[in-house]
Structure 1
Amino acid sequence: MEALLVEGELPANLHGRFLQSVPHPAHGTEPVSITGVRLAGGTAAWHRARTDFSLLGTVPTLAPAVRDGLRVARPAQDPRTGEWHTIATRPGSPLAEHVTMSAAGAVRRGRCFVLSGPARIDTVALTADHVVVLDLSVEHDRATELIGLRAPCTWRPGKQARIGLLPRRSRGNPLWFPVSPCFVPETVNAYEDGPEVVLDAVRHTSPTGPRELTRWTLDPSTGTASEERLLSADSAVVADPERGRRHHTVYAVRGTAVSRHDPHTSTTHDFGPGHRLGQPATAGEWLIVPFHDSTSSNLAVFDAADLASGPRSVVRLPVTVPVATRTTWQPLLEPVRA
């Protein structure tokens, strides 16, 4: 592995791989290539994941959005069992399939259900008892596909957007909750609060509108969903230990700034004009943010509790890569030498 230039000091207890899924120039806008950085022992090295053509590949959370004619939503992992859950759809069809896989990505079972139309589903969320399904305002458009557009999808503001709760342990169909027109490219977290389910996700309310971190509270007893806008955000994450549970802290990217929000405080670091930020990832007590400046692609490592002090270190990547919208952190079980 190629050693990388580090400005500042990498935390000695940071041992793992920061991976990102980025578009390949020959394959349009779909993420098909995984690159990243191994951080261990206070050093950084360039890492490139090997290619795997199974449904989810070698890194399930960075699975290709399109594989063998299917659109595969970014899967969610059960932190207790390690199982992965995703929704697969075929362009132009209202049929969807809930696919369950092992921790290694091997398909275990699948079951079909019907959407309101050929919806585009980019992401799912998971609670202890449900898979959260997003049947929203963007649909696959067969006509635009036939004329060769790379993103053959159409915004349907007149279509009833809805969020579904698909039971994980029975063969029932989703229980649907109508919501206002929107599209969700990224879920942040979901959890059960008594009989209700709470979903936080980044949404668009129009094709050209800004992204917002939104909270829906789904009440199965009434079949209704309440909606609350939390903040403007291009992307957002919670720490891994809080996934599937009531979370207290959200890390969000908006424009050139990354911020930390909890019930009592909000802190921000702004990279400044000319910077572009990708999806952050939490790594224990650290927050890793991919960013581009005028000359290079980089990773910034922050103390997750103290963003205002700026990055503790910056890793300079050996090549320029597109801004990553799918990232993940994989801890190493044991520290390794570079």
Structure 2
Amino acid sequence: MEALLVEGDLPANLHGRFLQSVPHPAHGTDPVSITGVHLSGGTAAWHRGPTGFSLLGAVPTLAPAVRDGLRIARPVQDPRTGEWHTIATRPGSSLAEHVTMSAAGAVRRGRCFVLSGPARIDTVALTPDHVVVLDLSVEHDRATELIGLRPPFAWRPGKQARIGLLPRRSRGNPQWFPVSPCFVPDAVDAHEDGPEVVLDAVRQTSLGGPRELTRWTLDTHTGAASEEPLLSADSAVVSGRRHRTLCGVRGSAVFRHDSHHSAGYDFGRGRALGQPAIAGEWLLVPFRDNASSNVAVLDTADVAAGPRCVVKLPVRVPIATRTTWQPLP
């Protein structure tokens, strides 16, 4: 592995790989190329991972959005069993499939259910008892696909957007909860609180519009859903148990938000930030400017202090929307 330049003090307790799924300059536009950095003992090295070998690829959380004619929601892993869960849809069809895979990415089972239309589903969330399904206001549009000038999706404000709770321990259909028109590109976290399921996600109220971190509370007894906007955010990740702290990106800034206060650090004009990842007490943020691509390491307890260090990548890579941290033994 190629040693990388580090500006600042790289924490010695970071031992793992920060990976991102991006087209790699040496491999054309292959959507399943995996690049990243190997961090260990206060040093950094360039990492190139293998391309995908199964439905979800070599690293399931970095699965490509489209594979074999299917649209694959970003998979989420059950921390207790190691299994991966995703929702697969086929363009133009209202049929969806909940796919469960082993920790290694092998398909174990699939279960079909019906959506209200050919919805675009980019993300999924998981609780011990439910898979959270997002049947919202963006659908596949056949006419747009035939023209071929832009992505084949359309905003359907008149369609009833809804969030579904698909039971994991039975063969039943989702329990649906009506919500206001929106689209969710990124589910951040979900947990159960008695009869309620709480979902934190990044929401848009128009296709390609501004993004906002929103909390939905779904009452499984009454079938009602409440909605609480939290703050503007392009993406976010969870730090700590039961999402005590949310860290994320908005524009050129990174933020930390909890029930008491919010704090942030702005990387400055001309910097573009990608999807962050949590590595224990550290927040890893990919960013690029006109000259280089980099990975910044920030303390999640003091995001406002800015990067503890910056790892310089050997090539410029696109901003990643799918990243992950893989701790090593």
Give TM-score scaled by structure 2 length.
Answer: 0.97
Alignment match of 1:318 (pick from 299, 314, 317): 314
Amino acid at match of 2:7: E
Matched, 1:262 2:249: no
Amino acid at match of 1:313: C
Amino acid at match of 1:304: T
Q: Does structure 2 retain, via aligned residues, the 8 Å contact 1:24–1:32?
A: no
Query: SS state of the match for residue 238, structure 1?
Result: strand
Post-superposition Cα deviations, 1:272-297, rounded to whole Å, max 9, x if no partner, equal: 11111111111011111111122100
Task: Report what 1:88 is aligned to.
Answer: 88
Instruction: Note the C-alpha offset of 1:33.
Output: 2.0
Q: Does structure 1 retain, via aligned residues, the 8 Å contact 2:32–2:57?
A: no
Query: SS state of the match for residue 202, structure 1?
Result: strand
Moved more, 84-93 or 260-269: 260-269
Amino acid at match of 1:312: R
Query: SS state of the match for residue 139, structure 1?
Result: strand
Alignment of 1:231-250 (within 5 A): 231-239=231-239, 242=241, 246-250=242-246
Task: Report what 1:10 is aligned to.
Answer: 10
Query: SS state of the match for residue 39, structure 2?
Result: strand
> Following the alignment from structure 1 to structure 2, what is the Cα–Cα distance between the partners of residues 307 and 21?
25
Instruction: Note the C-alpha offset of 1:209.
Output: 2.4
Amino acid at match of 1:157: P
Post-superposition Cα deviations, 1:48-107, rounded to whole Å, max 9, x if no partner, equal: 111123101110001011110000100111111111110000111000000011111110
Query: SS state of the match for residue 177, structure 1?
Result: strand
Post-superposition Cα deviations, 1:11-32, rounded to whole Å, max 9, x if no partner, equal: 011000000112468987x943
Task: Report what 1:168 is aligned to.
Answer: 168
Alignment match of 2:248 (pick from 249, 252, 275): 252
> Following the alignment from structure 1 to structure 2, what is the Cα–Cα distance between the partners of residues 326 and 230?
22
Query: SS state of the match for residue 145, structure 1?
Result: helix
Task: Report what 2:289 is aligned to.
Answer: 293
Give 5+ residue unaligned stretches, structure 2. Answer: none
Task: Report what 1:151 is aligned to.
Answer: 151
Matched, 1:278 2:274: yes
Amino acid at match of 2:298: F
Query: SS state of the match for residue 61, structure 1?
Result: helix
Give TM-score scaled by structure 1 length.
Answer: 0.94
Q: Does structure 1 retain, via aligned residues, the 8 Å contact 2:212–2:233?
A: yes
Q: Does structure 1 retain, via aligned residues, the 8 Å contact 2:24–2:35?
A: no
Q: Does structure 2 retain, via aligned residues, the 8 Å contact 1:202–1:234?
A: yes
> Following the alignment from structure 2 to structure 1, what is the Cα–Cα distance between the partners of residues 208 and 138?
13
Query: SS state of the match for residue 269, structure 1?
Result: strand
> Following the alignment from structure 2 to structure 1, what is the Cα–Cα distance between the partners of residues 122 and 15?
30
Task: Report what 1:336 is aligned to.
Answer: none
Post-superposition Cα deviations, 1:283-330, rounded to whole Å, max 9, x if no partner, equal: 011111111122100010011111122111100101111111111000
Instruction: Note the C-alpha offset of 1:262.
Output: 1.3
Task: Report what 1:128 is aligned to.
Answer: 128
Considering only aligned residues, what root-mean-square deviation do their CA atoms show, in Å?
A: 1.5
Instruction: Note the C-alpha offset of 1:222.
Output: 1.5
> Following the alignment from structure 1 to structure 2, what is the Cα–Cα distance between the partners of residues 331 and 269?
26
Give 5+ residue unaligned stretches, structure 1. Answer: 334-338
Query: SS state of the match for residue 323, structure 2?
Result: strand
Instruction: Provide the aligned length of Structure 1 versus Structure 2.
Output: 328
> Following the alignment from structure 1 to structure 2, what is the Cα–Cα distance between the partners of residues 271 and 154?
33
Amino acid at match of 2:12: A
> Following the alignment from structure 1 to structure 2, what is the Cα–Cα distance between the partners of residues 52 and 248?
34
229 and 176 in structure 1: CA distance in 2 versus 1, 3 angstrom threshold: same
Task: Report what 2:50 is aligned to.
Answer: 50
> Following the alignment from structure 1 to structure 2, what is the Cα–Cα distance between the partners of residues 141 and 195?
37
Q: Does structure 1 retain, via aligned residues, the 8 Å contact 2:92–2:141?
A: yes
Question: Identical aligned pairs, as a percentage?
Answer: 81
> Following the alignment from structure 2 to structure 1, what is the Cα–Cα distance between the partners of residues 57 and 292?
28
> Following the alignment from structure 2 to structure 1, what is the Cα–Cα distance between the partners of residues 171 and 101?
17
Task: Report what 1:66 is aligned to.
Answer: 66
> Following the alignment from structure 1 to structure 2, what is the Cα–Cα distance between the partners of residues 85 and 208?
26
> Following the alignment from structure 1 to structure 2, what is the Cα–Cα distance between the partners of residues 196 and 307?
31
Q: Does structure 2 retain, via aligned residues, the 8 Å contact 1:214–1:231?
A: yes
Task: Report what 1:224 is aligned to.
Answer: 224
